[in-house]
Structure 1
């Protein structure tokens, strides 16, 4: 089985750890805030 010509000369790339952490924080912080508010509102709705 041969590999396609476009993938034969590709070098692996390394993403900086700081960039990965920043991307997770960019998504994770608003997600955590939204989940917190949802749980807070649901607990008030169900008598908590």
Structure 2
């Protein structure tokens, strides 16, 4: 019987660092989301405050 717990997952052993891609993806999605929430709050305050 072989011990498979000592082997690393394929993504880790490949040596590719995906952190820059993940950060770029969060910015790509997060920036429009933040702008949309900003506009929603701005217009909601205009609606309810007159």
> TM exceeds 0.5?
yes
Q: Which runs of 4+ in 1 moved over 3 A?
A: none
TM, length-normalised to structure 2: 0.66
Unaligned runs of 5+ in 1: 1-10
Distance across 2 between alignment mates of 1:33 and 1:45: 18
Matches within 5 A, 1:30-45: 30-45=32-47
Q: What is residue 28 of structure 1 aligned with on the other side?
A: 30
**What is the aligned-residue RMSD (CA, Å)?**
1.7
Structure with the largest fraction of helix: 2
